[in-house]
Amino acid sequence: MPDSKFDNPLTVGMNISHAPQPCTLVIFGGGGDLTRRKLLPAIYNQALDGELPANFAVLGLAIEAMDDNQYRDFARKGIEEFSRQPLDPAYWKDFGRCLHYLHGSFDNPDVYVQLAQRLTEIEANFSIPGNRVFYLAIPPALIETCVCQLKAAGLVMPVDEHSPFSRIIVEKPIGRDLESARKVNATLSKNFHEQQIYRIDHYLGKETVQNILAMRFGNAIFEPLWNSKHIDHVQITVAEQEGVGTRAGYYDSAGALRDMIQNHILQLLTLIAMEPPWIMNADVIRDHRQDILNCLRPITPENFDHHVVRAQYGPGFHHGEDVPGYRREAGVAQDSITETYIALKLFIDNWRWAGVPFYIRTGKRMPKRASEIAIQFKSVPPILFNANHDQPLEPNVLALSIQPNEGLSLRIATKLPGAKLKIFPVKMDFRYGSTFGEQSPEAYERLLLDVMAGDATLFMRRDAVESSWAWVDNILNVWASSRTRWIPEYAAGTWGPLEADRLIESDNRKWRML
């Protein structure tokens, strides 16, 4: 009998031969918000679920003045507030002992000497064979300083079967355009081998995103229909309910295109559109995702107005309360033209997707928090059940909900009960929580385990980062040359500007209601 409560589950990892290896996780920025809200709770949940390697420790490095015990208090508060599982006081005593802290400045060479000494002590106490994962939870401007100092201090091991591993995790953004991304990647490559570099995009760790490949290639009913002959169009929506919040300093220099499209959404696109891999291997899958980026039709000044809409949220309502427009948020320039919303129509010029439009939209201060990929199939012929031109049948739609309720649904046509022949659309619905009766692991939990296992499938390779920036730069260059002082507004709490509706309605289609 299988151990699982589910009947005969098949365990297939992205790389089935890999398991998390004993290591020390060094978090640069270990006293920061990302560490408190995401990384430490993720590590705690992994430990509680029995997923961490037996010999494991954490060393936080930051400028905040703390000792080991104060750092454990810092971690406990973060876990109590943000963990998906409640803190277990009995378990905490054992878990807390693996947390350590080093106070110091990232640009001080002496700190890296101290770091090497602390790592040697921790590895001896926890029987860790010198394996290290360096997580850069720091502003992008500090990446060069940290990686160069790590190399200079002798903390980067060579890539061979006889040496302990050294791996580095880099948070987005990787640059703010193609030129700066190349500089960041050049710095990383000068100090680490590409095999050691893990460019993290937490969206790729979400359960539904991981399920895209299983859904497409593990079910015979989908892949034969996954092409321009059967699919009318694809919509990808990432809606954020909150405004710019405390990120105004970063966001006003970035905007929705850089913050969401270049990394998160283009990576979702590649998973939906890629060709079937011949093996579940990181390089093979990333090669196939890269092929999609190579096939993206460039957006040029000539077709720009028919493919791109940007806008900024104005005053409106959130949970019944008045909220300010973007330009009135603290830290935002009063004459800012930074987009908080963007809608795109793009095409993938390859054999599978020729002529199929992909409609993408993302924005802040939307009515709800929701991320969805919707594949709309072509309508059946206008005969039989679809013969009434005044009331055409609704097309079949396969919708993958990424957040907040992870799952998928399929809309099909069926007959209403009764003597008369009436057709009605119904939804076949699957949700992870209701089906499996447990909460899905957070994205960072999965991604941290993959780094410990050496599985780079869900991480961005250098060529993917630079290809996506090259495509995005076309849009940025048109905006820069336009010298506009005003962009359309949409009221906070709405689904975006009228211009975005016109973008899709000009093709006799409409945005989905989420």
Domain 23-164 coded CATH 3.30.1120.80 = no
Alpha-carbon distance of 431 to 439, in angstroms, equals 11
Q: Alpha carbon of 111 to those of 69, 104, 150, 259, 399: distances in Å? A: 20, 6, 10, 32, 50
Residue with tokens 């037996």: 54
- Sequence-distant (6+) residues with CB within 8 A of 337 are 312, 484, 485, 486, 487
Residue 37 token pair: 């809200």
Closest by Cα among 338, 328, 356 to 234: 356
The residue assigned the tokens 């410990």 is 452
Residue type, 270: T
Q: Which of 100, 193, 264, 318 is catalytic?
A: 264
Per-residue pLDDT of the chain (514 residues; tens, 9 = 90+): 344 444 444 444 444 447 899 999 999 999 999 999 999 999 999 999 999 998 999 999 999 999 999 999 999 999 999 999 999 998 998 899 999 999 999 999 999 999 999 999 999 999 999 999 999 999 888 999 999 999 999 999 999 888 899 999 999 889 999 999 999 999 999 999 999 999 998 888 887 787 888 888 989 999 999 999 999 999 999 999 999 888 888 899 999 999 999 989 999 999 999 999 998 888 999 999 999 999 999 999 999 999 999 999 999 988 888 999 999 999 999 999 999 999 999 999 999 999 999 999 999 999 999 999 999 999 877 777 766 777 777 889 999 998 888 888 998 877 777 767 677 777 888 887 777 766 678 889 999 999 999 999 999 999 999 999 999 999 999 999 988 889 999 999 999 999 999 999 999 999 999 8
Spatial distance between the Cα atoms of 253 and 233, rounded to a whole number of angstroms: 32
Interstrand relation of 370-377 and 231-239 (parallel, antiparallel or unpaired):
antiparallel
Distance CA 65, CA 63 (A): 6
Give the fold, CATH level 3, of 205-380+461-505. Dihydrodipicolinate Reductase; domain 2 (3.30.360)
Q: What is the pLDDT of residue 4?
A: 44
Check the annotation: does 5 bind a ligand.
Answer: no
**DSSP assignment letter at 154:** T
Residue 202 counted as an annotated binding residue? yes
HSE-up of 37 (CA within 13 Å, CB side)? 4
Question: Residue 355 — left, alpha, or beta (φ > 0 → left; ψ -120 to 50 → alpha)?
Answer: left
β-bridge mates for residue 376, sequence order? 233, 397
User: Is 259 flagged in the annotation as binding?
Assistant: yes
- In whole angstroms, what is the distance from residue 174 CA to residue 171 CA? 7
- 264 is known as an active-site residue: yes
Task: Please check if 364 is assigned to a binding site.
Answer: yes
E strand intervals along 105-189: 132-136, 166-171
CA distance 235 to 227: 15
Tokens of 264: 């998160």
User: Which residues of the chain form CATH 3.30.360.10?
Assistant: 205-380+461-505
DSSP element (H, E) containing 452 = helix 443-453
Cα angle 349, 353, 385; round to 5: 145
The span from the CA of 367 to the CA of 376, in Å, is 23
The label of the residue with tokens 């909150």 reads 242
132 close to 165: Cβ distance less than 8 angstroms? yes
Question: 């907040």: which residue's tokens?
Answer: 404
The answer to whether residues 100 and 57 touch, using CB atoms and an 8 Å cutoff, is yes
Core vs surface per residue 434-457: b (16+ CB within 10 A) or e: eeeeeebbbbbbbbbbbbbbbbbb
- Closest by CA position to 408, among listed 427, 391, 424, 431: 431
Range list for CATH 3.40.50.720 in the chain: 23-164
- What CA–CA distance (Å, rounded) separates 500 from 514? 16
Q: Is 240 labeled as ligand-binding?
A: yes
CA distances from 368 to 238, 240, 363 (A): 10, 7, 11
Residue 49 assigned to a binding site: no
Place of tokens 């939307």: 366
